[in-house]
Structure 1
Amino acid sequence: MLASLHRVVRRDVEAGRVLPDRAVVRREWGEQQTRQALADLALAGLSEGGAAKTSVPPSPRLVPEATGGLPVGESGALAGVALPVGAQPVWTLSVRAVAEAVGQAMAVQGAVCVFGDPGRGKTAAVRMVLSEVPPGWKVTWVPVAVRPSVAGMRRAVFDALALAGRFPHTSALADAAVAGALGQARVLVVDEAQRLPVPCLEYLQSLWDHPGTRITLVLCGAGSERALARLPQLASRVVAWQEVPRLTGAEVASVVAGFHPLWRTVPAPELTWIDQSCAHGTFRTWAALTAHLQNALLTTADASVDRALLRRLFKRVAPPL
């Protein structure tokens, strides 16, 4: 048997085949296990009631076990998301779809584009999904200025990474510092990505293509998919295009009731009427209407949630057509 093994090795060497280094094989195997674990988290199926099914012990995951499960502060606030007092984030079907898309991108260190009309909750969904990430991963949010330049984008990434020291005086030094910080597994989130011109998108692509970086790129914003269309080289690297649609009529009642206690005493047909008359499945409109309703109930004696009051509030949250 040893002679046969010797002949096989000699044949492969003579044929020019390089035998893999054991350390390299082990590292690749470990990375594959990590990618598979992330993929399993992202692809966790949904139960009939809408909650994700998992069979692993409690640990950081991208898809929660229950519809209300979300690590938030004592006030119910989620970092970076403005909500009315008493409101809490809700894991809608759209949020779960974003979780699956981001998880799949993390599994292969690819890119994901989260898009949809304004006010549908894209940023909130991404923040909810990334509120817990697997061990070894970090999340960095990169702000996008109005009409950004490549120099401004470079500085924004440098500052978002909170790198020590002053900003380097040359772009080469800045890029080297950024690439070094991106050598560990990291989700780089660029919100309002629709503002990015092609040169800024090319800069982000250069960071992602750098051989020393390990980035999952999340591009989020209303029109971000159109911005990416201007740079096919980067668009071709997107492993998941995830739209955040309007709330459907079937889910409005349960989602809004979970969003704020004010709506839990309102009959489902009335919630449907509110959505059809004003909110039209837009989460931002529901949040604004909730804040106005809270104020009206606190400042007006004997106020009640009736259609007369709601019609007055509709005019405050929607401009005249």
Structure 2
Amino acid sequence: MERRPRARLELSDRAWQVLAQAGGNVAVLHRHLTAAGGQVPSLASLYRVVHRDLEAGRTLPDRAVVRRDREERHTRQAMADLALASPRQGDVAEAVLRLPRSSSTAASAVPVGESGAVAGVGLPAGAQLVRTPSVRAVAEPVGQAMAAEGAVCVFGDPGRGKTVAVRMALSVVPAVWKVTWVPVPVRPSVAGMRRAVFDALALPGRFPHTSALADAAVAGALGEARVLVIDEAQRLPVPCLEYLQSLCDHPGTRITLVLCGAGTERALARLPQLASRIAAWQEVPRLAAAQVAPVVTGFHPLWRTVPAEDLAWIDQSCAHGTFRTWAALTTHLQNALLTTADTSLDRALLARLCQRVAPPL
């Protein structure tokens, strides 16, 4: 008599994924199936099935590769959910303080000295960074570009807070991402730009004597998730932009390129190949008239003693929505109140300070 055929035990693709994540440990797979419920084969049967399929030619991916892919998926999902745009979600909510006097949602203050939030940014004594709508508008495309490992261009007139907005956006990135700021040399060449990237990455050893060795060292360091920020990118000529494009196009690099500076959009227009790779073009506008009062009062408590009509007059006659001008006025106002006795904070003092920060015609 012929032997009656028996049902063959087969493992699903999901079971093989669990086995690969466990590094081929069959006992971990057995515990996973037991926790999932249902009819579970014995541990000995699982060993026989895995051994049979491996001998038939099935292979398990390397455990490090599986772990890296899983971390990348989690990071991409977290970046897509967060988008670096909402300071009210998750752990970022702890970093946002309410304004002591104003309940307006147009701006929220970030405490000075917070990790990554004010690195490289000089503030007057007692001042706080303010998370304005423009800052949140910059943070969203930066987060989306990081999720897709793309490029983003942040542009706008000088003094609008482009660099500060990028720094505040990158202060809440996951720890698996490394942020590197590359200073752009004056009148840069390709060799100077290559050296600037090499030094910014803090690579060990001396700078290689050939460009091929330097490019290999830089590409090796950019093999992990990293944000490469090029501030004052409007200085870059076409050859330097082509060098940055080569870093993005290298098959072994995993970088998000952030190009920031006044006139960067015009510099990128000279190289359409790189401009076509920009995933988002984000302009930092001037402060709107309705945003001036909540922003400057959140920036420094000294402005809370100034009437709202005087704040509007300063913005209309002097600052014109430029945040850098407001920071300079804050410093001059502090010095005037500290150095001169019985100084009254009136329109005459404000007019004199506005003339001090206004450029001569």
- Counterpart of 1:80? 120
Q: Using a 3 Å threshold, how does the CA distance of structure 1 residues 293 and 59 change in structure 2: closer, same or farther? A: closer
Within the candidate set 160, 174, 179, 1:139 is matched to 179
Structure 2 distance, partners of 1:213, 1:71, is 35
Within the candidate set 187, 190, 215, 1:175 is matched to 215
Q: Using a 3 Å threshold, how does the CA distance of structure 1 residues 314 and 59 change in structure 2: closer, same or farther? A: closer
Contact 2:112–2:127, Cα closer than 8 Å, also in 1: no
- Counterpart of 1:296? 336
The answer to whether residue 56 in structure 2 is matched with residue 35 in structure 1 is: no
Q: Using a 3 Å threshold, how does the CA distance of structure 1 residues 247 and 166 change in structure 2: closer, same or farther? A: same
Once superposed, what is the RMSD of the aligned Cα atoms?
2.7
3-state SS, counterpart of residue 90 of structure 1: strand
Structure 2 distance, partners of 1:25, 1:143, is 36
Cα distance, 1:157 vs structure 2: 0.2
Within the candidate set 263, 276, 279, 1:223 is matched to 263
- Counterpart of 1:152? 192
Within the candidate set 150, 161, 173, 1:121 is matched to 161
Contact 2:134–2:285, Cα closer than 8 Å, also in 1: yes
Cα distance, 1:64 vs structure 2: 5.9
- Counterpart of 1:310? 350
Task: Pick which of 32-41 and 211-220 moved more.
Answer: 32-41
The answer to whether residue 252 in structure 2 is matched with residue 212 in structure 1 is: yes
Q: Which runs of 5+ in 1 are unaligned?
A: 6-18, 46-51
Q: Using a 3 Å threshold, how does the CA distance of structure 1 residues 276 and 20 change in structure 2: closer, same or farther? A: farther
Structure 1 distance, partners of 2:84, 2:172, is 16
The answer to whether residue 274 in structure 2 is matched with residue 274 in structure 1 is: no
Q: Using a 3 Å threshold, how does the CA distance of structure 1 residues 250 and 278 change in structure 2: closer, same or farther? A: same
How far does the alpha carbon of each residue in 1:163-208 deviate from its partner, in whole angstroms, 9 at most, with x for none? 1110000000001111111111111000000000010001011111
Q: Using a 3 Å threshold, how does the CA distance of structure 1 residues 157 and 21 change in structure 2: closer, same or farther? A: same
- Which is greater in Rg? 2
Task: Pick which of 250-259 and 124-133 moved more.
Answer: 124-133
Q: How does 1:189-208 map to 2 (within 5 A)?
A: 189-208=229-248
Contact 1:123–1:220, Cα closer than 8 Å, also in 2: yes
Give the fraction of aligned pairs with identical amino acids, expressed as a percent.
78
Contact 1:116–1:122, Cα closer than 8 Å, also in 2: yes
The answer to whether residue 204 in structure 2 is matched with residue 164 in structure 1 is: yes
Q: Using a 3 Å threshold, how does the CA distance of structure 1 residues 165 and 22 change in structure 2: closer, same or farther? A: closer
3-state SS, counterpart of residue 190 of structure 1: strand
Contact 1:60–1:132, Cα closer than 8 Å, also in 2: no
- Counterpart of 2:276? 236
Cα distance, 1:320 vs structure 2: 2.7
- Counterpart of 2:288? 248
Cα distance, 1:314 vs structure 2: 1.0
The normalised TM-score by structure 2 is 0.76
3-state SS, counterpart of residue 298 of structure 1: helix
Structure 2 distance, partners of 1:220, 1:152, is 19
Amino acid at match of 2:122: A
Q: Which runs of 5+ in 2 are unaligned?
A: 1-6, 12-57, 99-106
3-state SS, counterpart of residue 295 of structure 1: helix
- Counterpart of 1:14? none
How far does the alpha carbon of each residue in 1:116-156 deviate from its partner, in whole angstroms, 9 at most, with x for none? 00000111111111123202111100000111000000000
Amino acid at match of 2:147: A
How far does the alpha carbon of each residue in 1:270-290 deviate from its partner, in whole angstroms, 9 at most, with x for none? 111111011000000001111
Structure 1 distance, partners of 2:351, 2:130, is 26
Cα distance, 1:60 vs structure 2: 9.9
Amino acid at match of 1:125: A
The answer to whether residue 302 in structure 2 is matched with residue 262 in structure 1 is: yes
Cα distance, 1:36 vs structure 2: 2.0
Contact 1:115–1:223, Cα closer than 8 Å, also in 2: yes
Contact 2:108–2:132, Cα closer than 8 Å, also in 1: no
The normalised TM-score by structure 1 is 0.85
How far does the alpha carbon of each residue in 1:229-287 deviate from its partner, in whole angstroms, 9 at most, with x for none? 11111111111111100000001000000001110111212111111011000000001
